[in-house]
A and B are shown apart, each in its own frame.
Chain A
Amino acid sequence: EPEVTQTPSHQVTQMGQEVILRCVPISNHLYFYWYRQILGQKVEFLVSFYNNEISEKSEIFDDQFSVERPDGSNFTLKIRSTKLEDSAMYFCASSDGGVGYEQYFGPGTRLTVT
């Protein structure tokens, strides 16, 4: 069964450093997402991406965040200058349609900022 994959599974970085989280969505999917979950809190939407551009973003997704689909398979989330409060589990998701289509989540990257 096709699945979303994410690398690395755990990333430790120092405050102020840039990190890139990588995702390989399911191959025929068209919609891509990033969500995050701070430990003990709810899953929060960050950004959606369709047709090579951001289609929706939350207040969390400020100028320090960016997304890219550099080739036909990868989807990345870059955090330019990490803060302690960026420590969270970051989930990538993809779907093959818009509203009403199931979003399939990857296993997540645990980001720890020290």
Chain B
Amino acid sequence: RKEVEQDPGPFNVPEGATVAFNCTYSNSASQSFFWYRQDCRKEPKLLMSVYSSGNEDGRFTAQLNRASQYISLLIRDSKLSDSATYLCVVISNQAGTALIFGKGTTLSVSS
């Protein structure tokens, strides 16, 4: 079983749409959770950390369900500039800091 699984998409949405991405992780001992963004042929960049209580940063909302081992990202009012691949990332080793990446979900926002 893959450590971090995501729907690869692509998700094609018009500007202004709301889109949700989901992710599941296999290691119940995982301790830290993130969403990263990766533009084509570029490095990953942290979008937001994900907390059990849920957290919001502008148009972006992240949720964590530890019981279901499920993480989500909601993007409201999509912009053209949101077009990218969204990576679900987990630290699964309680003693370590290695980031374990999902393969990513591709979002394309069109006008």
Do these two chains interact? yes
Q: Is the contact region of chain B dominated by helix, strand, or loop, or is it mixed?
A: loop
Contact present for A91 and B99 (CB under 8 Å): no
A56's contact among B87, B93, B101, by CB below 8 Å, is which? B93
The segment from B19-27, B37-45, B54-62, B68-76 found at the interface with A is B37-45
Minimal beta-carbon separation of B89 from chain A (angstroms)? 8
From B41, B44, B49, B96, A43 is in contact (CB under 8 Å) with B44
A45 to B93, CA, bound (A): 12
Encode contact with B along A71-114: 1 for CB under 8 Å, 0 otherwise. 00000000000000000010100010011111101111000000
Is the CB of B32 closer than 8 A to any CB of chain A?
yes
Q: How far is the CB of A58 from chain B (nearest CB, A)?
A: 7
- Report the count of interface residues on B (CB-CB < 8 A): 22
Instruction: From A41, A103, A107, A108, give the contact of B99 (CB < 8 A).
Output: A103
A65 at the interface (CB under 8 A from B): no
A38 to chain B, nearest CB (A): 11
User: What CA separation (Å) do A91 and B100 show in the bound complex?
Assistant: 14
Collect the chain A residues with CB atoms within 8 Å of residue B98's CB.
33, 45, 48, 56, 58
Contact A42 B43 (CB under 8 A): no
Q: Residues of A with Cβ closer than 8 Å to B?
A: 31, 33, 35, 41-45, 48, 55-56, 58, 89, 91, 95, 98-103, 105-108
Give 21 A-B contacts (CB < 8 Å), ordered by A residue.
A42-B87, A42-B102, A42-B103, A43-B87, A45-B98, A45-B99, A48-B96, A55-B97, A56-B93, A56-B96, A56-B98, A58-B98, A91-B43, A95-B97, A98-B97, A99-B97, A100-B49, A103-B99, A105-B43, A106-B43, A108-B43
